[in-house]
Amino acid sequence: MSWNYRVIQTDEGYSVYEVYYDEDQNVYMWSSDPVLNFFCDSPEAIIYEWDERIREAFNKQVLNMADLEKKVARKADDSAH
């Protein structure tokens, strides 16, 4: 399993979420709330970490929440059969 931050479009707008991938690098889960903060060793480290992670998120394709929900539901249905 791996994860990263991704920009996701919702009905409320765009925000950054934690997105989790299965062994085939398919999205299978994301944080229920947008990422707003995290802990670092110093205020300077927060700025550096946030900048690096945000740049990574914005270098990837924007995901759509409705599409993700459908895709994950289909995958769950397929694995139940």
Domain that holds residue 69: 2-80
* Span 22-75, pLDDT tens digits: 999 999 999 998 886 555 677 777 688 788 888 999 999 999 999 999 988 988
Q: What are phi and psi of 52, to 5 degrees?
A: -65, -45
Q: Is 4 helix (H, G, I), strand (E, B) or coil?
A: strand
pTM: 0.62
Number of domains making up the chain: 1
Q: Is the Cα dihedral 20, 24, 28, 34 positive or negative?
A: positive
